[in-house]
Amino acid sequence: MRRDYTQAPLSDADRAILDYTAKLTRHAWEVTPDDLDRLRHVGFDDRAILQINLIASWFNYINRVADGLGVGRGQPDTPRRDER
């Protein structure tokens, strides 16, 4: 599942969450009411859909912040603070 969740044996609800969050992450401007209806069809109410959206959006945001600051990238030429 790490490489391609679409090939994993998932419940309809789990697949709907992953399809929605993948679309939200990669092409948020393409999310339509049909995407939300699919989540409703597999049992999520509007509150759950909001939670799914907020969690995915928060992770996208925090990852963008970390990427923008170079967090997690090795910078061997830069000494750590305690080595200066």
For residue 60, report the phi and psi dihedrals to the nearest 5 degrees: -60, -45
Short-list 39, 48, 37, 31, CA closest to 14: 39
Q: In the chain, pLDDT over 90 holds for what percent of residues?
A: 75
Whether pLDDT at 27 is above 90: yes
> What pLDDT sits at residue 3?
80
Q: What is the dihedral of CA 49, 50, 55, 60, to 10 degrees?
A: 100
The CATH number of 12-68 is 1.20.1290.10
> What pLDDT sits at residue 62?
95
Alpha-carbon gap, residue 49 to 72, rounded angstroms: 31
